[in-house]
């Protein structure tokens, strides 16, 4: 039966392996995980680290674009209302 580990646990063990303060064998005996599995988690963590920072920037860009589109929509609505009021004012001045 395969043992399933939570993502937090995997990250903790992988970080321990990345630090290099202990050997993989020591980490293995400490956490009860096979050495090969720890090595795989370490490689996966190192491979995916750059994506963590890109996701944050992508999220900020998406939020910025949403805010920008909302502002342009508001500007358009205000411009429309302003033009409508100008026309009404012209009509009232003529009568």
pLDDT, tens digit (0-9, with 9 covering 90-100), for 31-54:
999 999 999 999 999 998 888 777
CA nearest to 38, candidates 9, 71, 78:
9
Which pTM was predicted?
0.56
The reported pLDDT for the residue numbered 95 is 54
Q: Please, are residues 18 and 46 in contact by the beta-carbon 8 Å criterion?
A: yes
Rounded CA-CA distance 42/64 in Å is 34
The mean per-residue pLDDT over the stretch 8-14 comes to 94
Q: What percent of the chain has pLDDT over 90?
A: 68
Q: Which two tokens stand for residue 17?
A: 């392996």
pLDDT tens digits for 72-81?
999 999 999 9
What DSSP designation does 6 have?
Answer: -
State the Cα–Cα distance between residues 10 and 7, nearest whole angstrom.
5
């Amino acid at each position: 039966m395969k043992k399933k580990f939570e993502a937090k646990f995997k990250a903790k063990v992988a970080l321990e392996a990345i630090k290099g303060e202990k050997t993989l064998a020591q980490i293995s005996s400490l956490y009860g995980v096979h050495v090969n599995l720890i090595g795989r988690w370490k490689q996966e963590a190192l491979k995916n680290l750059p994506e963590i920072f890109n996701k944050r920037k992508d999220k900020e860009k998406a939020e910025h674009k949403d805010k920008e589109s909302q502002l342009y929509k508001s500007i358009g609505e205000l411009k429309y209302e302003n033009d409508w009021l100008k026309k009404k004012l012209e009509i009232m001045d003529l009568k």
